[in-house]
Chain A
């Protein structure tokens, strides 16, 4: 027996959740689907395929205040802002939820990033299994699946009668407390088939191809627009900078991209990664070699957003394939 919620009860449930949580869900913003806080269930756009941006920003915002600096009566005070209340991300895709698993390893390791950790703790993830695959999707090749429930608190799967409700965690249990679930014998639909991408030996292949001129050749067409980093659910490069606005001084953390030419430039002008090739090698090196060595997984969830948004068609699937081929014919690493 499975637990099921009808379409009308789903609406009622979401409206009930709105009393307790800030509900962040896919919405239609002009021609884009984006995760935004909603005021009512009707605001949610369920037929979204994949959103333009992942919901990463709701745990790791593009810009956030780490602390404010105030001086009163000659005494300086540094204060971290209070963090938001309870959030619920509704209809998160399994790949985007896996992105949080990858970010957890970075931000929850000691010393835990208090901003990320508090948001993580206060956020419930209601997943929505994918009923169809897009041409750029390859989650099954990097450890995920269109119906993977392992990184969400509840997983919804659309069926004819409504949605199957798979409650995964205690947080999920709390979230469905107000949902009208019915027990019914429903066979879950089989997940869509995805074209597999070989990742076998990719860590070693990336290492072997390290000093190959492949990176500069690949970079010829890169415009360092940085879009790949900003759409990625797993990228986490950041900048920390001070900002003074109307007399208020804040220290901000902002998303950054390792593709930006000045990313590693030190005072005085020296830049350890001076070329586009060196910077692209950093991007793919981080995803396919450094992060896996540090944390075990590839730093990619197979959502395909970087593939769909790259203006010059740099495709991580092709890069992996190229690296595997290079690895076979060249042994140019300094190891």
Chain B
């Protein structure tokens, strides 16, 4: 909750700042300022599932809000450059079925806390929740007064990173040579082993629907695996693939 308040406060500050600059934000200079709110829907997902994944049992998008401020500089009537600052959550809940999937669970309660690694066959329920500060930079193409298209890149840093889940109704063995142990339920938490930086591509469109109010959509494709390949405990590279839908207001 605290974090959300912080994000809102920062965004409001940004809006105020944008307003303060309103006097200079004339069409003559080619500068425009926008604030945008929206939500991300998608997945932090491997591109090409590992062969050990045998089924996808469930998928639930989580409430991923985004709030952003952008500055747009139009060089001529068609082309411009857009840069901004975006606070956003990216996350999802997914259930997968795996077979002989090498992973580490950390037992967090009881006498024998610690990490246990083994080959797991069964179901995994995973929750990913990342809170990013993103800096997108895009080229803008203005088709007409209503439609803007943009494509570019973004860099993001996760101020909040959670990757947790549980293994349920399965069996695990340390190696194929050790006995099988049934597992009713065990938790894992890889939040400490995540890559906080993400860079990627984004592409989107904006359509003015009423005066300065527009409906926005953009798709972001992260190129950095959220599970840090150097310290990961699950045999998977997963990337942020999210569609953002929202509204923006141009001052």
Chain A partners chain B: no
Measuring CB to CB, which residues of chain A are less than 8 angstroms from any residue of chain B? none
